[in-house]
Amino acid sequence: MEDRNAAERLAAVTGRIGAAAEAAGRDPSSVRLVAVSKLQPEARVAGALEAGHRLFGENRVQEAEGRWPAFRERFPDIRLHLIGGLQTNKVRAAVRLFDVIETVDRPRLAAALAREFERTGRALPCFVQVNTGDEAQKGGVAPSALDGFLDECRTGYGLDVVGLMCIPPAEDLPGPHFAFLREAARRNGLGGLSMGMSADFETAIRFGATHVRVGSAVFGARG
Ligand SMILES: *Cc1c(COP(=O)(O)O)cnc(C)c1O
């Protein structure tokens, strides 16, 4: 069964993305909606798929493994982003399942991904996650280490780094974090900016987001 409300919520968020892009003088098609389906009931995800949406984000490999292979049989053009932290012992499963890895944040992970890409011939585009708030509990490379780490990823490991990703601290205004990420991407010649969630995706679009990761605004509150 599919949840028919999903189509309406999806259209509402897509409309807000378009309006925010236009207000910022940007082409609405330059902003992609990564619909974050973690912990959402199957019916809501099916509703979004039936409504034509194909780009999704999940934060756990194991949860995604339980759900997406079956959806992919029905909708072969699904694109799946990993947006949660990746342990090296899950790299093999992640490379099999996902199309983009958004959370590259340490040399050991970069090395493990590079090895798996080489082994399988399936080299996925990657974002480097930046811990813009320098929070101890959060994943992401420290801002001070970013440029060196990017060089290591690209030159040392040959990763196809397409952009930067961040999750600002919940208690901060997000704008300065988005501005930092945009400047870091520009300085390093990267086009992709994955930033903005349900509460702040319009702000992120104003600061140049190319991918907004929106969960509850698309699917409703998580169970
Ligand atoms: C859950 C999650 C989101 C979506 O959060 P919402 O507030 O529901 O939009 C975005 N990014 C990451 C990394 C997440 O884990």
- Give CA–CA dist 48/46, Å, rounded: 5
Residues of the chain with pLDDT under 50: none
Question: Which pLDDT score is estimated for 9?
Answer: 95
- Give CA–CA dist 68/63, Å, rounded: 9
Phi, psi of 88 (to 5 degrees): -65, -30
- Beta carbon of 59 within 6 Å of any ligand 1 atom: yes
Mutate which of 32, 59, 165, 218 for ligand 1 pocket (most atoms within 8 A of beta carbon): 59
- Beta carbon of 35 within 6 Å of any ligand 1 atom: no
Question: Which pLDDT score is estimated for 5?
Answer: 87
Residue nearest to atom 4 of ligand 1 (CA): 215
Distance 38 CA to ligand 1 centre (A): 8
Residues 6+ apart with CB under 8 A from 164: 127, 128, 129, 130, 146, 181, 184, 185, 188, 190, 192, 193, 194
- Give CA–CA dist 17/202, Å, rounded: 7
DSSP β-bridge partners for residue 101: 82, 126
**Global pTM?**
0.97
Ligand 1 atom showing the smallest separation from residue 216 Cα: 8
Question: Which pLDDT score is estimated for 6?
Answer: 86
- Give CA–CA dist 81/58, Å, rounded: 6
Residue nearest to atom 5 of ligand 1 (CA): 215
- Beta carbon of 37 within 6 Å of any ligand 1 atom: no
Distance 110 CA to ligand 1 centre (A): 23
**Other residues' Cβ atoms within 10 Å of the Cβ of residue 61:** 23
